[in-house]
Amino acid sequence: MSRYAKQVLFTPLGKEGQERLGRSRATIIGLGALGSTLANHLVRAGVGYVRLCDRDFVELDNLQRQVLYDEDDVKGNLPKAAAAAAKLSRINSEVKLDPRVCDVNHANAEELARDVDIVLDGTDNFETRFVLNDACVKLGRPWVYGGCVGSYGMVMAVLPGEGPCFACLVGDLPAPGTSATCDTAGVLNMAVSIVASFQANEAIKILAGRREALAGGLQTLDVWQNTSQLIRVPRSPECPVCVKRGFRHLESNPSGATSLCGRNAVQITPPPGSTLDLAAAEKRLAPLGQVRRNAYLLKVSVDGCELTLFPDARAIIQGTHDLARARSLYAKYVGS
Ligand SMILES: [Zn+2]
Protein backbone atom coordinates (compact mmCIF):
# COMPACT_ATOMS: atom_id res chain seq x y z
CA MET A 1 0.00 0.00 0.00
CA SER A 2 2.97 2.36 0.54
CA ARG A 3 3.10 2.99 -3.21
CA TYR A 4 -0.37 4.52 -2.96
CA ALA A 5 0.12 6.41 0.31
CA LYS A 6 -0.83 9.82 -1.08
CA GLN A 7 -4.01 8.43 -2.59
CA VAL A 8 -5.02 6.56 0.56
CA LEU A 9 -4.60 9.80 2.54
CA PHE A 10 -7.22 11.41 0.31
CA THR A 11 -10.28 10.77 2.48
CA PRO A 12 -12.94 10.19 -0.21
CA LEU A 13 -10.82 7.27 -1.49
CA GLY A 14 -9.11 6.00 1.65
CA LYS A 15 -7.86 2.45 2.20
CA GLU A 16 -11.15 0.89 1.18
CA GLY A 17 -11.27 2.80 -2.11
CA GLN A 18 -7.67 1.84 -2.85
CA GLU A 19 -8.38 -1.84 -2.20
CA ARG A 20 -11.33 -1.66 -4.55
CA LEU A 21 -9.09 -0.16 -7.25
CA GLY A 22 -6.68 -3.06 -6.79
CA ARG A 23 -9.48 -5.55 -7.44
CA SER A 24 -10.75 -3.62 -10.49
CA ARG A 25 -10.39 -4.39 -14.17
CA ALA A 26 -10.42 -1.83 -16.98
CA THR A 27 -10.22 -1.86 -20.76
CA ILE A 28 -8.77 1.14 -22.60
CA ILE A 29 -9.74 1.37 -26.27
CA GLY A 30 -7.20 3.37 -28.26
CA LEU A 31 -3.73 4.29 -26.99
CA GLY A 32 -3.17 7.61 -28.71
CA ALA A 33 -3.14 10.90 -26.83
CA LEU A 34 -6.16 10.22 -24.60
CA GLY A 35 -5.36 6.52 -24.15
CA SER A 36 -1.72 7.13 -23.14
CA THR A 37 -2.77 9.50 -20.40
CA LEU A 38 -5.64 7.25 -19.30
CA ALA A 39 -3.32 4.24 -19.04
CA ASN A 40 -0.69 6.27 -17.20
CA HIS A 41 -3.23 7.42 -14.58
CA LEU A 42 -4.91 4.03 -14.10
CA VAL A 43 -1.68 2.07 -13.81
CA ARG A 44 -0.04 4.54 -11.42
CA ALA A 45 -3.26 4.68 -9.35
CA GLY A 46 -3.17 0.90 -8.91
CA VAL A 47 -6.11 -0.40 -10.94
CA GLY A 48 -5.44 -4.15 -10.74
CA TYR A 49 -5.87 -5.16 -14.37
CA VAL A 50 -5.63 -2.93 -17.45
CA ARG A 51 -6.30 -4.16 -20.98
CA LEU A 52 -4.60 -1.98 -23.59
CA CYS A 53 -6.10 -2.07 -27.10
CA ASP A 54 -4.76 -0.25 -30.15
CA ARG A 55 -4.48 -1.02 -33.86
CA ASP A 56 -1.65 1.34 -34.75
CA PHE A 57 2.11 1.77 -34.37
CA VAL A 58 4.09 4.70 -32.94
CA GLU A 59 5.06 7.53 -35.30
CA LEU A 60 7.12 10.68 -34.81
CA ASP A 61 4.18 13.10 -34.86
CA ASN A 62 2.57 11.16 -31.97
CA LEU A 63 5.25 12.26 -29.52
CA GLN A 64 3.86 15.80 -29.16
CA ARG A 65 0.98 14.45 -27.04
CA GLN A 66 1.14 10.65 -26.61
CA VAL A 67 3.01 10.62 -23.34
CA LEU A 68 3.87 6.92 -23.06
CA TYR A 69 6.11 6.83 -26.15
CA ASP A 70 9.57 7.97 -27.13
CA GLU A 71 11.87 8.12 -30.16
CA ASP A 72 13.08 4.54 -29.63
CA ASP A 73 9.50 3.30 -30.06
CA VAL A 74 9.31 5.16 -33.39
CA LYS A 75 12.65 3.72 -34.57
CA GLY A 76 11.57 0.23 -33.54
CA ASN A 77 8.22 0.46 -35.41
CA LEU A 78 6.52 -0.70 -32.22
CA PRO A 79 2.76 -1.10 -32.02
CA LYS A 80 1.32 1.29 -29.44
CA ALA A 81 -0.11 -1.55 -27.33
CA ALA A 82 3.32 -3.21 -27.04
CA ALA A 83 5.22 0.04 -26.43
CA ALA A 84 2.65 1.16 -23.83
CA ALA A 85 2.77 -2.17 -21.98
CA ALA A 86 6.59 -2.11 -21.90
CA LYS A 87 6.63 1.40 -20.44
CA LEU A 88 3.76 0.80 -17.97
CA SER A 89 5.26 -2.45 -16.66
CA ARG A 90 8.31 -0.45 -15.55
CA ILE A 91 6.05 2.11 -13.84
CA ASN A 92 3.97 -0.37 -11.85
CA SER A 93 4.83 -4.07 -11.99
CA GLU A 94 1.94 -4.89 -9.63
CA VAL A 95 -0.65 -4.16 -12.31
CA LYS A 96 -1.63 -6.98 -14.65
CA LEU A 97 -1.36 -5.59 -18.19
CA ASP A 98 -3.04 -7.16 -21.18
CA PRO A 99 -1.80 -5.52 -24.42
CA ARG A 100 -3.81 -6.27 -27.57
CA VAL A 101 -2.61 -5.16 -30.99
CA CYS A 102 -6.01 -5.15 -32.66
CA ASP A 103 -8.69 -3.13 -34.33
CA VAL A 104 -11.70 -2.72 -32.06
CA ASN A 105 -14.88 -3.27 -34.00
CA HIS A 106 -18.27 -5.02 -34.03
CA ALA A 107 -16.61 -8.44 -33.95
CA ASN A 108 -14.60 -8.07 -30.73
CA ALA A 109 -16.05 -5.12 -28.76
CA GLU A 110 -18.22 -7.28 -26.50
CA GLU A 111 -15.36 -9.68 -25.74
CA LEU A 112 -13.11 -6.75 -24.76
CA ALA A 113 -15.79 -5.20 -22.51
CA ARG A 114 -17.36 -8.32 -20.97
CA ASP A 115 -14.84 -9.30 -18.27
CA VAL A 116 -13.94 -5.82 -17.02
CA ASP A 117 -15.60 -3.30 -14.69
CA ILE A 118 -15.19 -0.30 -16.96
CA VAL A 119 -14.28 0.68 -20.52
CA LEU A 120 -12.41 3.90 -21.31
CA ASP A 121 -12.64 5.65 -24.65
CA GLY A 122 -9.29 6.68 -26.10
CA THR A 123 -10.51 6.50 -29.69
CA ASP A 124 -10.50 9.26 -32.27
CA ASN A 125 -13.66 8.48 -34.21
CA PHE A 126 -17.43 8.27 -33.85
CA GLU A 127 -17.72 4.90 -35.55
CA THR A 128 -15.78 3.09 -32.82
CA ARG A 129 -17.57 5.03 -30.06
CA PHE A 130 -20.96 3.88 -31.36
CA VAL A 131 -19.66 0.30 -31.34
CA LEU A 132 -18.40 0.77 -27.75
CA ASN A 133 -21.69 2.33 -26.70
CA ASP A 134 -23.70 -0.57 -28.14
CA ALA A 135 -21.43 -3.17 -26.50
CA CYS A 136 -21.36 -1.45 -23.09
CA VAL A 137 -25.10 -0.69 -22.96
CA LYS A 138 -25.87 -4.27 -24.03
CA LEU A 139 -23.60 -5.68 -21.30
CA GLY A 140 -24.55 -3.07 -18.67
CA ARG A 141 -20.89 -1.98 -18.46
CA PRO A 142 -20.02 1.65 -17.50
CA TRP A 143 -17.81 3.49 -19.97
CA VAL A 144 -16.30 6.96 -20.09
CA TYR A 145 -16.42 8.95 -23.31
CA GLY A 146 -13.72 11.51 -24.06
CA GLY A 147 -13.19 13.66 -27.13
CA CYS A 148 -10.74 16.40 -27.96
CA VAL A 149 -10.03 18.61 -30.99
CA GLY A 150 -8.02 21.83 -31.12
CA SER A 151 -8.21 23.36 -27.65
CA TYR A 152 -11.67 21.98 -26.90
CA GLY A 153 -12.74 18.74 -25.29
CA MET A 154 -15.54 16.91 -23.55
CA VAL A 155 -16.08 14.01 -21.15
CA MET A 156 -19.12 12.02 -20.09
CA ALA A 157 -19.45 8.86 -18.04
CA VAL A 158 -22.12 6.51 -19.38
CA LEU A 159 -23.85 4.38 -16.73
CA PRO A 160 -26.12 1.97 -18.59
CA GLY A 161 -29.57 1.72 -17.08
CA GLU A 162 -28.99 4.77 -14.87
CA GLY A 163 -28.35 7.71 -17.18
CA PRO A 164 -28.03 8.84 -20.80
CA CYS A 165 -25.88 6.87 -23.24
CA PHE A 166 -23.67 8.17 -26.04
CA ALA A 167 -26.54 7.93 -28.54
CA CYS A 168 -28.73 10.03 -26.18
CA LEU A 169 -25.94 12.64 -26.25
CA VAL A 170 -25.07 12.86 -29.94
CA GLY A 171 -28.02 11.29 -31.76
CA ASP A 172 -26.91 9.41 -34.85
CA LEU A 173 -23.51 8.81 -36.41
CA PRO A 174 -22.51 12.13 -38.05
CA ALA A 175 -22.04 12.08 -41.84
CA PRO A 176 -18.38 11.71 -42.89
CA GLY A 177 -16.58 15.05 -43.18
CA THR A 178 -19.11 16.99 -41.07
CA SER A 179 -17.26 17.10 -37.76
CA ALA A 180 -13.89 18.68 -36.96
CA THR A 181 -11.05 16.20 -36.44
CA CYS A 182 -7.48 16.43 -35.20
CA ASP A 183 -6.57 16.10 -38.87
CA THR A 184 -8.29 19.35 -39.84
CA ALA A 185 -8.11 21.39 -36.62
CA GLY A 186 -5.00 20.04 -34.89
CA VAL A 187 -4.93 19.47 -31.15
CA LEU A 188 -3.12 20.95 -28.14
CA ASN A 189 -1.46 18.47 -25.80
CA MET A 190 -2.69 20.42 -22.76
CA ALA A 191 -6.31 19.98 -23.87
CA VAL A 192 -5.84 16.24 -24.35
CA SER A 193 -4.20 15.68 -21.00
CA ILE A 194 -6.98 17.55 -19.16
CA VAL A 195 -9.73 15.65 -20.99
CA ALA A 196 -8.05 12.31 -20.27
CA SER A 197 -7.50 13.30 -16.64
CA PHE A 198 -11.22 14.07 -16.25
CA GLN A 199 -12.00 10.70 -17.83
CA ALA A 200 -9.62 8.81 -15.54
CA ASN A 201 -11.03 10.71 -12.58
CA GLU A 202 -14.58 9.57 -13.37
CA ALA A 203 -13.30 6.02 -13.88
CA ILE A 204 -11.53 5.98 -10.52
CA LYS A 205 -14.72 7.17 -8.78
CA ILE A 206 -16.74 4.39 -10.43
CA LEU A 207 -14.14 1.69 -9.67
CA ALA A 208 -13.67 2.85 -6.08
CA GLY A 209 -17.43 2.72 -5.49
CA ARG A 210 -17.82 6.50 -5.20
CA ARG A 211 -20.45 7.11 -7.86
CA GLU A 212 -22.02 9.90 -5.83
CA ALA A 213 -18.98 12.03 -6.73
CA LEU A 214 -19.47 11.71 -10.52
CA ALA A 215 -19.98 14.90 -12.55
CA GLY A 216 -23.46 13.75 -13.56
CA GLY A 217 -23.38 15.26 -17.05
CA LEU A 218 -21.22 16.32 -19.94
CA GLN A 219 -18.11 18.22 -18.91
CA THR A 220 -16.74 20.53 -21.61
CA LEU A 221 -13.64 22.69 -21.58
CA ASP A 222 -11.61 24.95 -23.81
CA VAL A 223 -8.06 25.49 -22.61
CA TRP A 224 -7.41 28.37 -25.03
CA GLN A 225 -10.55 30.26 -23.97
CA ASN A 226 -10.13 29.22 -20.32
CA THR A 227 -13.74 28.09 -20.11
CA SER A 228 -15.48 25.00 -18.77
CA GLN A 229 -19.06 23.89 -18.35
CA LEU A 230 -21.10 21.07 -16.90
CA ILE A 231 -24.12 20.30 -19.07
CA ARG A 232 -27.00 18.11 -17.87
CA VAL A 233 -27.83 15.54 -20.55
CA PRO A 234 -31.30 14.00 -20.48
CA ARG A 235 -31.88 10.39 -21.38
CA SER A 236 -33.64 10.35 -24.76
CA PRO A 237 -37.07 8.66 -24.33
CA GLU A 238 -36.77 7.28 -27.87
CA CYS A 239 -33.07 6.29 -27.71
CA PRO A 240 -32.56 3.41 -30.15
CA VAL A 241 -29.75 1.99 -27.99
CA CYS A 242 -30.41 2.38 -24.26
CA VAL A 243 -34.24 2.54 -24.43
CA LYS A 244 -35.13 0.36 -27.41
CA ARG A 245 -32.05 -1.86 -26.97
CA GLY A 246 -31.16 -2.07 -30.66
CA PHE A 247 -27.43 -2.69 -31.16
CA ARG A 248 -26.97 -2.24 -34.89
CA HIS A 249 -23.33 -1.12 -34.60
CA LEU A 250 -22.48 -4.62 -33.37
CA GLU A 251 -23.62 -6.05 -36.67
CA SER A 252 -21.09 -6.51 -39.42
CA ASN A 253 -19.30 -3.61 -41.03
CA PRO A 254 -19.73 -4.27 -44.75
CA SER A 255 -16.77 -2.27 -46.05
CA GLY A 256 -13.80 -3.62 -44.08
CA ALA A 257 -11.86 -0.47 -45.06
CA THR A 258 -11.76 2.67 -42.92
CA SER A 259 -9.95 5.95 -43.32
CA LEU A 260 -7.81 6.68 -40.23
CA CYS A 261 -8.21 10.05 -38.49
CA GLY A 262 -5.26 12.36 -39.03
CA ARG A 263 -3.17 9.86 -40.92
CA ASN A 264 -3.71 10.03 -44.71
CA ALA A 265 -4.04 6.29 -44.24
CA VAL A 266 -6.59 3.54 -44.64
CA GLN A 267 -7.01 0.43 -42.52
CA ILE A 268 -8.10 -2.79 -44.20
CA THR A 269 -9.75 -5.18 -41.75
CA PRO A 270 -10.14 -8.78 -42.92
CA PRO A 271 -12.85 -11.08 -41.52
CA PRO A 272 -12.43 -12.04 -37.83
CA GLY A 273 -10.12 -14.99 -37.29
CA SER A 274 -7.89 -14.22 -40.31
CA THR A 275 -4.15 -14.66 -39.90
CA LEU A 276 -1.06 -13.69 -41.86
CA ASP A 277 2.35 -15.36 -41.63
CA LEU A 278 4.67 -12.34 -41.46
CA ALA A 279 7.81 -14.36 -42.29
CA ALA A 280 6.21 -15.81 -45.42
CA ALA A 281 4.89 -12.38 -46.41
CA GLU A 282 8.39 -10.95 -45.99
CA LYS A 283 9.81 -13.50 -48.45
CA ARG A 284 7.03 -12.84 -50.93
CA LEU A 285 7.35 -9.04 -50.76
CA ALA A 286 11.17 -8.81 -50.60
CA PRO A 287 11.58 -8.40 -54.40
CA LEU A 288 9.46 -5.20 -54.26
CA GLY A 289 11.77 -3.27 -51.96
CA GLN A 290 13.13 -3.21 -48.45
CA VAL A 291 10.90 -5.07 -46.03
CA ARG A 292 11.21 -4.24 -42.32
CA ARG A 293 9.80 -6.76 -39.89
CA ASN A 294 9.66 -7.08 -36.09
CA ALA A 295 7.71 -9.41 -33.80
CA TYR A 296 4.51 -7.44 -34.31
CA LEU A 297 4.37 -6.12 -37.87
CA LEU A 298 5.95 -5.81 -41.31
CA LYS A 299 6.43 -2.67 -43.41
CA VAL A 300 7.11 -2.30 -47.12
CA SER A 301 6.79 0.59 -49.59
CA VAL A 302 4.97 -0.11 -52.86
CA ASP A 303 3.34 2.10 -55.51
CA GLY A 304 4.01 5.28 -53.50
CA CYS A 305 2.30 3.94 -50.37
CA GLU A 306 3.65 2.29 -47.24
CA LEU A 307 1.96 -0.97 -46.30
CA THR A 308 2.06 -2.14 -42.70
CA LEU A 309 0.83 -5.70 -42.20
CA PHE A 310 -0.13 -7.37 -38.91
CA PRO A 311 -0.41 -11.06 -37.92
CA ASP A 312 -4.23 -10.74 -37.83
CA ALA A 313 -4.00 -9.93 -41.61
CA ARG A 314 -4.89 -6.32 -40.99
CA ALA A 315 -3.14 -3.68 -43.05
CA ILE A 316 -2.60 0.03 -42.58
CA ILE A 317 -1.90 1.66 -45.94
CA GLN A 318 -0.29 5.07 -45.64
CA GLY A 319 -0.14 7.66 -48.38
CA THR A 320 -3.79 7.51 -49.43
CA HIS A 321 -7.24 8.09 -48.00
CA ASP A 322 -8.89 6.57 -51.05
CA LEU A 323 -10.62 3.42 -49.76
CA ALA A 324 -10.83 1.83 -53.22
CA ARG A 325 -7.13 2.39 -53.92
CA ALA A 326 -6.21 0.95 -50.52
CA ARG A 327 -8.41 -2.12 -51.12
CA SER A 328 -6.79 -2.69 -54.49
CA LEU A 329 -3.27 -2.41 -53.06
CA TYR A 330 -4.25 -4.92 -50.38
CA ALA A 331 -5.67 -7.33 -52.95
CA LYS A 332 -2.57 -6.96 -55.10
CA TYR A 333 0.14 -7.37 -52.47
CA VAL A 334 -1.51 -9.29 -49.63
CA GLY A 335 -4.28 -11.12 -51.43
CA SER A 336 -7.89 -10.97 -50.35
ZN1 LIG B 1 -29.37 6.25 -25.00
Q: Per residue in 163-201, is it b (16+ CB within 10 Å) or e — as a string?
A: bbbbbbbbeeeeeeeeeebbbeeebbbebbbbbbbbbbb
Say how many Å lie between the CA of residue 298 and the centre of ligand 1.
41
Nearest-angstrom CA–CA distance, 59 and 327: 23
Q: pLDDT tens digits for the chain (336 residues)?
A: 799 999 999 999 999 999 999 999 999 999 999 999 999 999 999 999 999 999 999 999 999 999 999 999 999 999 999 999 999 999 999 999 999 999 999 999 999 999 999 999 999 888 899 999 999 999 999 999 999 999 999 999 999 999 999 999 998 777 666 666 666 678 999 999 999 999 999 999 999 999 999 999 999 999 999 999 999 999 999 999 999 999 999 997 655 888 887 788 999 988 878 899 999 999 989 988 889 999 999 999 998 999 999 999 999 999 998 888 898 888 888 885
Largest CA distance in the chain: 64
Nearest-angstrom CA–CA distance, 117 and 209: 11
182 carries an active-site annotation: yes
With 0-12 CB in 10 A as exposed, 13-18 as middle and 19+ as buried, what is 226?
Answer: exposed
Question: Would you give the distance in Å from CA 311 to the centre of its chain?
Answer: 20
- Nearest-Å Rg of the Cα atoms of the chain is 20
Say how many Å lie between the CA of residue 37 and the centre of ligand 1.
27
Candidate list 102, 182, 239, 242, residue with the active-site label: 182
Say how many Å lie between the CA of residue 157 and the centre of ligand 1.
12
Q: What is the DSSP string of 69-118?
A: --HHHHHTT-BHHHHHHHHHHHH-TTSEEEEEE---STTTHHHHHHTSSE
User: What is the model's pTM?
Assistant: 0.90
Say how many Å lie between the CA of residue 253 and the centre of ligand 1.
21
Is the C-alpha dihedral spanning 235, 239, 245, 250 positive or negative?
Answer: negative
